[in-house]
Structure 1
């Protein structure tokens, strides 16, 4: 069953946001190579087990908000399902070496993402 696999947090100040989330929730941040303004986030649930993964980067537009990504077997297949269910696909793109994503709107104008893991994405 598709579930939330990633949250993306836009920020105006990476260091301030890292400090806030690490002090508040104990989240760990890793700076991946080749992504100068982006950090991967590691979370744990209340039992200390691995939680939802995430990322944090500089805000792209003034209205950009936190987005949850649902892991799916195929972004193409689920993008069609979004549209057949009355939603909209705003953008689809590869994340080279990581996978494919699509940014979507549900029927209530809430933004969410689809994520397909694929190391061969180009």
Structure 2
């Protein structure tokens, strides 16, 4: 249920929506609902959102916000991302509170995954 003045939904660009859907379904178990050829919504991701067709991408070097996912098994998640066609852009590193890595999805959007 939406909460007043709380983050409710997030959208990302995707140059290849079909490939993006396959990637996030395989690696993270996200589910998708298409709304025409240029938009797909996702669920089962912790926060609902969508991907819209665009040749641009979301990257922290360009000042974009960084979405950080959680994993109980960081190395296994990293391996699954690589097997599904993701690119590791920052290998696993320690930070106060845990460890994490950054990756780009098939549409070149940057995300991170962390663990204790």
Q: TM-score range by the shorter chain?
A: 0.3 to 0.5
Query: What's the TM-score once normalised by structure 1's chain length?
Result: 0.44
- Greater Rg, structure 1 or structure 2? 1
Query: What's the TM-score once normalised by structure 2's chain length?
Result: 0.46
